[in-house]
Amino acid sequence: MKMETKRMALPKPENSNCNNSRTSLSKLLIPLFKELELSGQAYCVCGNYMELPYHTDNDVDIWAENPSVVLQLIKIICTDLLYDIYLNNANATGINLFICLCGKGCDEIIHLDILKECRWFSILPLVRSETIKNNRRRYENFYIANTTVETAMHLMYPLAHFGKVTPKYYAGIRDEAKCANFWEIIEEGWGSNFSRKINSAVRNGHWNILERIFAADKANLFLHSLSKIRFAEFRSWLYFLIYNVKRLIKPTGLFIAFIGPDGCGKTTIQTNLDQFFKNGFTKGKIKTFYWRPFLLPRIQSLLPGKKNTSGKTADEEPAERLALRKTGWSLRIIHCIKLFYYWVDYSLGRAKYQGAWSRGGVVCFDRYWEDLYVFPERFGLCVPQWLVEFLGLFVPKPDIIFYLNVKPAVLIDRKPELPLDELVKQTEQYKRLCQRHKNFISVDGEQSRENVLAEVINKCLKTMSKRYQ
């Protein structure tokens, strides 16, 4: 059970008015809690509930006896409030939801985890649904998990998955270790023998000893949990496997790329999207690349002879780029072979990011295959456009390719590396690509950085939201 993440207010453009984040969260949670009680659905908030339903510094983790019913209620409420679900990432223990309010230049994200049970490896029970249901209490106008069961999850989940206890929970675990009910929950998940082994270490705060005991007994604990699996857990795990296969075809995450001439601001925008990536998608599922996946090594490293120790490559020497167009036909054949090598890397390199893309993460490229179509010389190639276009038919397609549209005169002012006529030619080619392909979006790169970021984020959220409309 994930107990810590964050929600965020995204960058907003100049002169924009944004709804108060406390109001937006409460508009969703207050009717949700009310409808859950009216429908007789058992639920409770797990952790970080002190300022709910108005505010939280973390995601809202909600245990529910029937997560699918909660999801349907959330969909209805979001429709009424004009909120959009842009990421619905199911797992074997529940549903991971990201919701946004799309306004004029201001996007706000709310992250809800709807969980049915606390499990190990998505199938092995740690704290059962019935235990959570029977250990709830009233807080304000909604239900929260009993401190004892919540603390037991704080101990068992990170220990099972990471082999460590989270330091911020040390004090709470030691306090609850005095309670008999706490040890009953540990015994239910891992048996009485292991409970007795760790009792002293937990009570005295000897966390290193506890972690060593767990590491030594991990295999036995796995078998113990495996022997307690019921049909319901096996069924949800089987559905999850089928769902994972479907996500290979229709990923739930986001795959984007930024293209354009030097100086249009690709790297700057990608760098400043880090906070959005971190808090707007599944935790730990962020993959960023420059140009290609680099599953295959650099060609130079495969060739015999003296290596380039200067650190400079063909795409870093502006004066040498245009000169490549005078390359003879014999060398052009070699360049075509190099292009095929890069194509293989793009095709097979999907293995490096498919997991993140499929599982609610984000994949972002600074430059992509289309930059080879416009200006292959930047990457040390002199190849025909038709060959680049043909091979590109078999390259993985991003959900969105952002072209940062900047006038040639501005480009040459930012980076005076290429002549003006060359920049004019390149910008025209990028514009034609935008007109030909549906997944291309042109963004005015001459706006302030804040406005470009807000527009890019808005487009990402709207594109993803359409999947659930």
b/e sequence 178-209, b meaning 16+ C-beta within 10 Å: eeeebbebbebbbbeebbebbeebbeeeebee
Instruction: Calculate the alpha carbon distances from 348 to 246, 250, 294, 298, 341 in Å.
Output: 19, 18, 10, 15, 11
Q: Which of 250, 265, 300 is the last residue of a domain?
A: 250
CA atoms within 13 A on the CB side of 112: 27
Query: Do 180 and 112 share a structural domain?
Result: no
Cα–Cα distance for residue pair 205/211, rounded to 1 Å: 11
Q: Which of 61, 185, 187, 169 is nearest to 135 (CA)?
A: 185
- Residue 227: inside a domain: yes
Question: Residue 400 pairs with which residues in a beta bridge?
Answer: 256
The pTM score is 0.85
Query: Do 173 and 38 share a structural domain?
Result: no
The two beta strands, 94-102 and 124-127, are unpaired
312, amino acid identity: K
The SS3 of residue 84 is strand
Cα–Cα distance for residue pair 62/72, rounded to 1 Å: 15
197, amino acid identity: K
364, amino acid identity: C
Cα–Cα distance for residue pair 21/109, rounded to 1 Å: 9
Contact assessment for residue 145 and residue 47, using Cβ atoms and an 8 Å cutoff: yes
- Residue 127: inside a domain: no
Q: For the chain, what is the radius of gyration of the CA atoms?
A: 26
Q: Which of 250, 285, 320 is the last residue of a domain?
A: 250
Q: Measured at the alpha carbon of residue 101, what is the angle toward residues 278 and 267, in degrees to the nearest 5? A: 40
The two beta strands, 136-139 and 124-127, are unpaired
Query: Do 358 and 408 share a structural domain?
Result: yes
Q: Measured at the alpha carbon of residue 36, what is the angle toward residues 31 and 41, in degrees to the nearest 5? A: 175
- Residue 132: inside a domain: no
Q: Which of 94, 116, 138 is the last residue of a domain?
A: 116
Q: Which of 137, 119, 172 is nearest to 43 (CA)?
A: 137
- Residue 123: inside a domain: no
Side by side, the strands of the sheet bearing 84-91 are 84-91, 94-102, 107-115, 60-64, 43-45, 142-145, 136-139
Query: Do 206 and 104 share a structural domain?
Result: no
Query: Do 399 and 285 share a structural domain?
Result: yes
Residue 469: the pLDDT is 76
Number of structural domains found in the chain: 3
What token pair was written down for 129? 């649904």
Per-residue pLDDT of the chain (469 residues; tens, 9 = 90+): 333 333 334 344 343 333 444 458 899 999 999 999 999 999 999 988 888 998 887 789 999 999 999 999 999 999 999 899 999 988 888 899 999 886 543 457 899 999 999 988 888 889 999 999 999 999 989 999 999 999 999 999 999 999 999 999 999 999 999 999 999 999 999 999 999 999 999 999 999 999 999 999 999 999 988 888 888 888 888 888 888 888 889 999 999 999 999 999 999 999 999 989 998 999 889 999 999 999 999 888 887 765 554 444 545 566 578 888 888 888 999 999 999 999 999 999 999 999 999 999 999 999 999 999 999 999 999 999 999 999 999 999 999 999 999 999 999 999 888 899 999 999 999 999 999 999 999 999 999 999 999 999 999 999 999 998 7
Q: Return the CATH number at 76.
A: 3.30.460
Domain that holds residue 77: 1-116
Q: Return the CATH number at 333.
A: 3.40.50.300
Residue 29: the pLDDT is 94
Q: Work out the widest C-alpha separation in the chain, in whole angstroms.
A: 82
Query: Do 405 and 330 share a structural domain?
Result: yes
* End-to-end alpha carbon distance in the chain: 29
- Residue 439: inside a domain: yes
Residue 105: the pLDDT is 39
Cα–Cα distance for residue pair 403/424, rounded to 1 Å: 15
Residue 316: the pLDDT is 53
Query: Do 316 and 459 share a structural domain?
Result: yes
Cα–Cα distance for residue pair 386/274, rounded to 1 Å: 35
Residues in CB range of 252: below 8 A, 6 or more apart: 87, 88, 89, 358, 359, 360
* DSSP character string of 210-275: HHHHHHHHHHHHHHHHHHT--HHHHHHHHHHHHHHHHHHHS-SSEEEEEE-STTSSHHHHHHHTHH
- Residue 136: inside a domain: no
Query: Do 295 and 157 share a structural domain?
Result: no
Residue 149: the pLDDT is 93
Residue 4: the pLDDT is 33
Positive or negative: CA dihedral 389, 391, 394, 400? negative
Long-range (24+ apart) CB contacts under 8 A made by 28-32 are: 28/74, 28/77, 28/78, 28/81, 28/83, 28/99, 28/110, 29/53, 29/60, 29/142, 30/141, 31/77, 32/70, 32/73, 32/74, 32/77
